[in-house]
Chain A
Amino acid sequence: MIKSYKFRRHFTNAITYIILAVLGLIWISPLVYLVLHSFRADGGVSYPYLVPKQFTFQNYVELFTQSKWLNPAASGSSSVDFPKWFMNTFVVAIFSCIISTLAVLMVSYAFSRLRFKARKPLINVGMILGMFPGFMTMIAIYYLLKAIGLDKTLVALVICYSAGAGLGYQISKGFFDTIPRALDEAATIDGATKNQVFWKIILPMSKPIVVYTVLTSFIGPWTDFILAKIIMQDKLDNYTVAIGLQKMIAADMITQHFKHFLAGSVIVAVPITILFLFMQRYYVEGVTAGGVKG
Chain B
Amino acid sequence: MKYIDYKQLNPFQKFGYNFKNFFINLPKNLKKFFCMIGRFFKNLFIGIGKGFAGYGTRFVRGDWATKLSYIVMGTGNIVRKQFVKGFMFLIIEIAYIAMMVFFGVEKLAKMFTPTGTIGTVVSETVTGANGRPVHIIGDNSMIILLYGVLTIILSVIFLVIYVTNTKSAYKAQCTVAAGEKPVTFMEELKDLLDNRFHVTLLAFPTLTISAFTILPLIFMILIAFTNFDHSHVPPGTLFSWVGFQTFADIFSSSGVSSKGATFLELTKWTLVWAVFATVLNYILGMIVALMINKKGIRLKALWRTLFVVTVAVPQFVSLLLMNQMLQDDGAINVLIKMLGMQPISFLNSTPLVARITVIVINCWVGIPYTILITSGILMNIPADLYESATIDGAGPARSFFSITLPYMLFVTTPYLITSFIGNINNFNVIYLLTNGGPTSGPNSPQMAGGAGYTDLLVTWLFKLTMSENDNNLAAAIGILVFIVCATLSLITFNLTKSAKNEEEFS
Name A's B-contacting residues (CB within 8 A).
9, 12-13, 16-17, 19-20, 23-24, 26-28, 30-31, 33-34, 45-50, 103, 106-107, 109-110, 114, 116, 119, 122, 127-129, 131-133, 135-141, 143-144, 147, 159-160, 162-167, 193-195, 198, 222-223, 225-226, 230, 242, 245-246, 249, 258, 261-262, 265, 268-269, 272-277, 280, 283-284, 287-288, 290-294
Contacts and interface: CB of A to CB of B under 8 A. Distances in A.
Interface string B282-319: 00000010011010110000010111111111111110
A120 to B, nearest CB: 11
Given A114-B197, A144-B146, A132 B478 contact: yes
B216 A137 contact: yes
A272 B313 contact: yes
User: Of B209, B292, B465, B471, which is in contact with the most chain A CB atoms at under 10 Å from its CB?
Assistant: B209
15 contacts: A34-B317, A50-B331, A106-B201, A109-B201, A131-B485, A132-B482, A136-B478, A137-B217, A139-B471, A140-B219, A140-B220, A288-B415, A291-B414, A292-B415, A294-B411
A163 B322 contact: no
Given A27-B364, A116-B198, A194-B195, A20 B314 contact: no
Contacts of B208: 103, 159, 162-164, 166
B320 interface: yes
A268 B474 contact: no
Interface in B384-436: 396, 410-415, 418, 425, 427, 431
B495 interface: yes
B101 to A, nearest CB: 20
B214 A129 contact: yes
A294 B505 contact: yes
Contacts of B353: none
Nearest to A115: B198
Given A288-B373, A292-B412, A292-B415, A167 B213 contact: yes
**Which 9 pairs, one residue from A and one from B, show the smallest C-beta to C-beta distance?**
A166-B205, A140-B216, A276-B312, A136-B478, A293-B499, A163-B212, A137-B216, A46-B329, A195-B193
Contacts of A12: 396
Given A13-B296, A16-B294, A193-B194, A135 B414 contact: no
B306 A245 contact: no
B461 A135 contact: yes
Chain B binding site: helix, strand, loop or mixed by DSSP?
Answer: helix
Contacts of A167: 209, 213
Given A140-B216, A167-B213, A195-B194, A30 B321 contact: yes
Given A20-B292, A27-B307, A167-B213, A194 B193 contact: yes
A14 to B, nearest CB: 10
Contacts of B486: 128, 131
